Amino acid sequence: MAVQAQGGQVLWGRGFESEWGQPYGVWIDALRSPLQQYSAPLPPALGKLFPEFVSAASAVQSDRNQLFDAIASVLSHLSHQATPIVVIFDDMQWLDEASIALLHYLIRLLPHLPLYFAGTARPKALETNVAAYQLVKALRRDRRVKTIGLTPLDATATAQLAQQLGAEIAVEQIYDSSGGNPLYTIEIAQAIASHNRPYSENLEVLIQERLQTLSSEAQELLTWMAALGSSFSPNQINHITDCSLLTLLSVMAELEQQNILHPAISSNGEPGYAFTHDVVRQVAYHRLSEPRRRLIHRHIAERLQPLTETNSAVSSDLAHHAQLAGEHELAAIAFLTAAEHCLRLFAYADGAKLAQQGIEQCQWLEARPRVRLQLRLFKVLVLAGVTRQTSQAIEAQLHELIQAANHLGMSDDEAIGMEALIALNYEQDNLAEVHQHCLLAAEQGRTASPAITARMLAYTGWCLADIGQEMQRAEALLLEAQSLASRVELELIDLPSGLGCVRWHHGNFEEARPLLKQAWQMAQADQDHWREFVCLSYLVMFELEAGQPLAALTYCDALSLASAQLEGGNEAAIAAAFKALVHHQLDQTNAQMQLRQALVTLQEVDAQRTRAYILTWIADHHLKQSAVETALTHAQAALEAAQIVNHPSNMALAWTTLIQAYLTQNRKQEANHHFQKLKQQVERHSLSARANQAIAKLEQAWKDADLKLK
Amino acid sequence: MIVDCAAIAIFFRITQLSVFRSFLAQLFIHLHMTRVLVEKIFDEPISQEKWDRDIAIGIPCHNAHNVHWIRSMMARDRRRVICEFEAPDVETVQRSFRKAKLPFARIWAIDLIEPSTSVIAQPSEESYL
């Protein structure tokens, strides 16, 4: 309410334990309503999650990165329409891995927007959701999350709650029995207020006693609702139970009045109801005997099955009910459809989980259906990404199944098994096992796999970090790649290399150093001389900026050796220039002459990026030595070189030195002119910590010189 | 290789939207672009398929670094190619080639000299002696 009073918007979604297998379900809930009133064209990639707003056909070619960027673009647009935007997720311990990955990506990518994320979770339960737990841990480490623990209600709050429910007489008694637990308080208060009856000390029994006071129609429909899940629409109840509209309306009113249900958006996106508390649903559900539950789930599965032909998102629900009904073949087929649906949405962890569950269902089947379904389920499992450890076991099982298919004369299924094997071997880089004519098929099958996506994202993130552009996006891509790569135990040099650059950019030297060193070691192990050269050049620059020129010197010889391994290019000149700079910083003999010669060579080979970097150091050195004219000349040259290659941080560093040199000479007009250009051409939030510190120092110097900033 | 191509294409799509925000920066860069030549030498004549694959990998990476392919001049025996680019500087072109894992023999910046821009003097009598 406070957010809305400020003109902002709240987007809300909730995780439900019984609704697993719905990738991005919480995001679909949170965004469905705002998208109905969206004032701009929607990105095509959203068709994967919102086919009702964007044609699903237009999203076919999109990848996970495009889907994530599409959501980012929607939130960015919304934050310009209403400020602030607060996204709230209840029960985060029940969120799927894909939703958590998207949340993490957005937190990293959009810190500059008036966009806030809040979540609720039970601490112990959160630890069982690995993805959610890792997210909270990472945010805590970066100090980007504030945790507020909820304490039990005190006596005053309990009294207020009890009074609202009409049980003001027995407030003390309620507080003693409930111990401040809100749900317990509500149940006891309602027992006293509505029937003034003795109540059980056991919460579940308390709830059961309350449910028994409902009308017979309400109790009957409640069991179907509890079996369906935490939320449902009236249409779903009608479709499954065939009850009359009048009865349905009457029952809904009764259950709403009894605070058992409240209005909510159901899991299929329609307006509906949700249980006020999952404990109430569980009590309603477990009142049934096991055989009766099975029958109910079988009936629900039979009613859902026709719907899966037009909507594969229903398959996970069908699988759930079929499994609980003991309908193993139906469950296995539904798990397969649901797993494939997850892969199309790049929800690899959820897809793998569903595929595994499908495989387990197959153990009760006859030979032919078992072989047919397991081969397809294993193929999905492979495409969702497997570790090296599990790939051997999977390969063995695939061989067995292929042999069984061959014995049974199931040639089509045998071919699917071969495809799965090819994909598995390709993923594990066993290219010798893959015949040439199968490579294309393997490539086509690979495009959605987490390994491929991880490689793409890691490369892109590193590239951005290397160029020094869009560091927030670089970090978001790299962390997403890291999460995907860890699923399949893939080690990518782009990850420590890129993340090292990002940490370094933010001035976080303690975290950057081991990452950059790790990248160097990986390059050495791969005998990738160019990557070795790049990693070593990072380390030289890094240690100089960390104020450790001696450490930088230890990398210079290796840098020269690596550059000597590279044919055709000018890396040797760049290595020599870095070495000269380090010697210069260490005040070594002949360093100035070496540096002068190195700069001449850099100009001759047209290496402006390195030239800009080195010139900023020299300009700064001369300014500190009070050689102002020399500092001016070098700063001007550094600025020109940095502008040629459009490196914002180097531009900012060159400019600050130039402006300070002008201020030292009391050339206020020139200083001001350049300061205005700096502010026009460079965005502060994109600059490195080093460049931002230089600007802050300049602003202080400006204040000290008693000049007005325009 | 197809993976690298897709990764580079994604990179290109991301960076082209926002790599040059400032108009002034764009103008400066436009005025200071350099012509760069890259020479490639192949032990065996390069096939059209390999050439097409290298283009598919290289061009998105180059574009992302603001390196623009002007033309290539290929020897008739297909063992040697000189590619011409417009780029901020040679180091950027070099870095782009290395990232895309495209080998090259030499790389250097040039000044373009064309007949239309040169003054062609009439030869003197002495030059024929």
| CA proximity to A568, closest of B82, B62, B104, B83 | B104
Q: Are residues A137 and A172 in the same domain?
A: no
Per residue in B19-62, pLDDT (tens digit) is 444 444 455 545 679 999 999 999 999 999 899 989 888 888 88
- If one counts every other C-beta atom within 10 angstroms of the C-beta of residue A61, the result is 10
CA distance between the termini of chain B:
60
Strands B80-87 and A9-14 come out as: unpaired
- State phi, psi for B110 to the nearest 5 degrees: -130, 160
Q: Is residue B44, in this structure, part of any structural domain at all?
A: yes
Strands A9-14 and A85-90 come out as: parallel
Residues of A whose CB is below 8 A from B94: 569-571
Q: Is residue B24, in this structure, part of any structural domain at all?
A: no
Per residue in A384-423, pLDDT (tens digit) is 988 878 888 999 999 999 999 999 999 889 888 988 888 8
Query: Domain tally for chain A?
Result: 3
Instruction: Extract the tokens encoding A610.
Output: 């390195």
Q: Is residue B43, in this structure, part of any structural domain at all?
A: yes
Q: Is residue A196, in this structure, part of any structural domain at all?
A: yes
Partner residue facing B29 (CB), from A571, A644, A683:
A644
Give the minimum alpha-carbon distance from B90 to chain A in angstroms, rounded to a whole number: 5
**Kindly report the CA angle at A179 between A177 and A182, in degrees rounded to 5?**
100
Q: Is residue A510, in this structure, part of any structural domain at all?
A: no
In terms of residue numbers, what domain contains A657? 620-710
Give residue A367's pLDDT band: very low, low, confident or very high (50, 70, 90).
Answer: very high
Residues of B whose CB is below 8 A from A568: 103-107
Separation between Cα atoms, residue A377 and residue A358, nearest integer Å: 7
Give the minimum alpha-carbon distance from B74 to chain A in angstroms, rounded to a whole number: 18
Cβ–Cβ contact B15 with A under 8 A: yes
Q: Is residue A271, in this structure, part of any structural domain at all?
A: no
Nearest residue on chain A to B89, judged by CA atoms? A606
Strand partners, A116: A86
Instruction: Extract the tokens encoding B85.
Output: 């680019």
Q: Do the beta carbons of residue A354 and residue A316 sit within 8 Å?
A: yes
Domain boundary among A213, A233, A258: A213
Separation between Cα atoms, residue A661 and residue A163, nearest integer Å: 73
Is a pLDDT exceeding 70 seen at residue A708? Answer: no
User: What does the pLDDT read at residue A616?
Assistant: 96
Q: Are residues A102 and A11 in the same domain?
A: yes
Q: Is residue B123, in this structure, part of any structural domain at all?
A: no
Q: Do the beta carbons of residue A185 and residue A164 sit within 8 Å?
A: no
Is a pLDDT exceeding 70 seen at residue A589? Answer: yes
| CA proximity to A21, closest of A239, A381, A314 | A314
Q: DSSP letters of chain B?
A: -HHHHHHHHHHHHHHHHHS---HHHHHHHHHT-EEEEEEEE-SSPPPHHHHHHHHHHHHHHHHHTT-EEEEEEE-TTSSEEEEEEEES-HHHHHHHHHHTT---SEEEEE----GGGS--PPPPGGGG-
Separation between Cα atoms, residue A453 and residue A478, nearest integer Å: 11
Nearest residue on chain B to A65, judged by CA atoms? B10
Max CA distance (Å), chain B? 65
Separation between Cα atoms, residue A243 and residue B20, nearest integer Å: 62
- If one counts every other C-beta atom within 10 angstroms of the C-beta of residue A398, the result is 23
Q: Is residue A311, in this structure, part of any structural domain at all?
A: no
Q: Is residue B92, in this structure, part of any structural domain at all?
A: yes
Give residue A487's pLDDT band: very low, low, confident or very high (50, 70, 90).
Answer: confident
- State phi, psi for A177 to the nearest 5 degrees: -75, -40
Asked if A646's CB is within 8 angstroms of B103's CB, the reply is no
- Report which secondary-structure segment, H or E, holds A370: helix A367-384
Identify the CATH number of the domain in which residue A96 sits. 3.40.50
User: What does the pLDDT read at residue A519?
Assistant: 97
Domain boundary among A170, A187, A213: A213
Q: Are residues A135 and A98 in the same domain?
A: yes
Instruction: Say which residue, B83 or A700, is predicted with more confidence.
Output: B83
Asked if A606's CB is within 8 angstroms of B34's CB, the reply is yes
Per residue in A295-336, pLDDT (tens digit) is 999 999 999 898 887 777 788 889 999 999 999 999 999 999
Q: Do the beta carbons of residue A359 and residue A396 sit within 8 Å?
A: no
Cβ–Cβ contact A497 with B under 8 A: no
Cβ–Cβ contact B8 with A under 8 A: yes
Average pLDDT over residues A602-607: 95
Residues of B whose CB is below 8 A from A567: 103, 105
DSSP state of A168: G
Nearest residue on chain B to A440, judged by CA atoms? B2
Residues of B whose CB is below 8 A from A683: 21
Q: Is residue A674, in this structure, part of any structural domain at all?
A: yes
Residues of B whose CB is below 8 A from A501: none
Q: Do the beta carbons of residue A434 and residue A426 sit within 8 Å?
A: yes
Write the secondary structure of A407-427 as one string of H (helix), E (strand) and C (coil). Answer: HCCCHHHHHHHHHHHHHHHHH
Cβ–Cβ contact A568 with B under 8 A: yes
Q: Are residues A122 and A193 in the same domain?
A: no
Q: Are residues A64 and A11 in the same domain?
A: yes
Q: Is residue A121, in this structure, part of any structural domain at all?
A: yes
Partner residue facing A680 (CB), from B24, B29, B92:
B24
Per residue in A162-216, pLDDT (tens digit) is 777 776 666 777 777 677 777 777 777 777 776 665 555 677 787 888 888 899 9
Cβ–Cβ contact A443 with B under 8 A: yes
Cβ–Cβ contact A569 with B under 8 A: yes
Q: Are residues A131 and A164 in the same domain?
A: no
CA distance between the termini of chain A:
40
Per residue in A25-66, pLDDT (tens digit) is 899 989 988 888 888 888 888 988 888 888 777 776 678 888
Q: Are residues A17 and A136 in the same domain?
A: yes
User: What does the pLDDT read at residue A438?
Assistant: 52
| CA proximity to A392, closest of A486, A489, A313 | A489
Asked if A646's CB is within 8 angstroms of B20's CB, the reply is yes
User: What does the pLDDT read at residue A167?
Assistant: 67
User: What does the pLDDT read at residue A160?
Assistant: 83
Give the minimum alpha-carbon distance from B62 to chain A in angstroms, rounded to a whole number: 12
Which residue of A69, A565, A646, A649 is the best one to mutate when testing the B interface, meaning the one whose CB has the most B CBs within 10 A? A646
Is a pLDDT exceeding 90 seen at residue A354? Answer: yes
Q: Is residue A531, in this structure, part of any structural domain at all?
A: no
What is the signed CA dihedral for A125, A131, A132, A138, rounded to 10 degrees? 130
Give the minimum alpha-carbon distance from A366 to chain B in angstroms, rounded to a whole number: 40
Separation between Cα atoms, residue B41 and residue B44, nearest integer Å: 9
A667-691 burial, b for 16+ CB within 10 Å, e for fewer? Answer: eeeebbebbeebeebbeeebbbbbb
Q: Kindly report the pTM of this predicted structure.
A: 0.76
| CA proximity to A279, closest of A358, A204, A199, A200 | A204
In terms of residue numbers, what domain contains B59? 1-7+33-112
Asked if A607's CB is within 8 angstroms of B64's CB, the reply is no
Q: Do the beta carbons of residue A618 and residue A637 sit within 8 Å?
A: no
Q: Are residues A169 and A61 in the same domain?
A: no
Q: Are residues A33 and A109 in the same domain?
A: yes
Q: Is residue B117, in this structure, part of any structural domain at all?
A: no
Asked if A605's CB is within 8 angstroms of B90's CB, the reply is yes
Q: Do the beta carbons of residue A207 and residue A280 sit within 8 Å?
A: yes
Which residue of A606, A640, A681 is the best one to mutate when testing the B interface, meaning the one whose CB has the most B CBs within 10 A? A606
Is a pLDDT exceeding 60 seen at residue A434? Answer: no
Strands B80-87 and A271-275 come out as: unpaired
Identify the CATH number of the domain in which residue B90 sits. 3.30.70.3090
User: What does the pLDDT read at residue B4?
Assistant: 46
User: What does the pLDDT read at residue B126?
Assistant: 58
Query: Domain tally for chain B?
Result: 1
With H, G, I as helix, E, B as strand and everything else as coil, classify residue A53. Answer: coil
Residues of B whose CB is below 8 A from A644: 28-29, 32, 88-89
Asked if B24's CB is within 8 angstroms of A459's CB, the reply is no
Q: Is residue A428, in this structure, part of any structural domain at all?
A: no
Separation between Cα atoms, residue A461 and residue B15, nearest integer Å: 11
Per residue in B104-119, pLDDT (tens digit) is 999 999 998 888 766 6
Is a pLDDT exceeding 90 seen at residue A88? Answer: yes
ipTM of the prediction: 0.76
Q: Do the beta carbons of residue A1 and residue A10 sit within 8 Å?
A: no
Separation between Cα atoms, residue A174 and residue A199, nearest integer Å: 10
Separation between Cα atoms, residue A607 and residue A604, nearest integer Å: 8
Partner residue facing A470 (CB), from B7, B18, B22:
B18
Q: Is residue B87, in this structure, part of any structural domain at all?
A: yes
Q: Which residue has the tokens 């179907």?
A: A224
Give the minimum alpha-carbon distance from B66 to chain A in angstroms, rounded to a whole number: 9
Amino acid at A675: F
Amino acid at A4: Q
User: What does the pLDDT read at residue A25?
Assistant: 87
Asked if B11's CB is within 8 angstroms of A460's CB, the reply is yes
Give residue A267's pLDDT band: very low, low, confident or very high (50, 70, 90).
Answer: low
Mean pLDDT over each residue of chain A, to the nearest integer: 87
User: What does the pLDDT read at residue A456?
Assistant: 83
Asked if A65's CB is within 8 angstroms of B3's CB, the reply is no
Separation between Cα atoms, residue A155 and residue A291, nearest integer Å: 44
Q: Is residue B96, in this structure, part of any structural domain at all?
A: yes
Q: Which residues contact B58 (CB under 8 A, 6 or more apart)?
A: B69, B96, B97, B100, B102
User: What does the pLDDT read at residue A193?
Assistant: 72
Is a pLDDT exceeding 90 seen at residue A278? Answer: no
Nearest residue on chain B to A463, judged by CA atoms? B11
Domain boundary among A84, A117, A141: A141
Q: Which residues contact A372 (CB under 8 A, 6 or more apart)?
A: A405, A410, A413
Write the secondary structure of A211-274 as one string of H (helix), E (strand) and C (coil). Answer: HCCCCHHHHHHHHHHHHHCCEECHHHHHHHHCCCHHHHHHHHHHHHHCCCEEEEECCCCCEEEE
Per residue in A535-584, pLDDT (tens digit) is 999 999 999 999 999 999 999 999 999 999 998 899 999 999 999 999 99
Per residue in A437-481, pLDDT (tens digit) is 455 555 555 555 788 888 888 988 898 899 887 888 899 999 999
- If one counts every other C-beta atom within 10 angstroms of the C-beta of residue A540, the result is 24
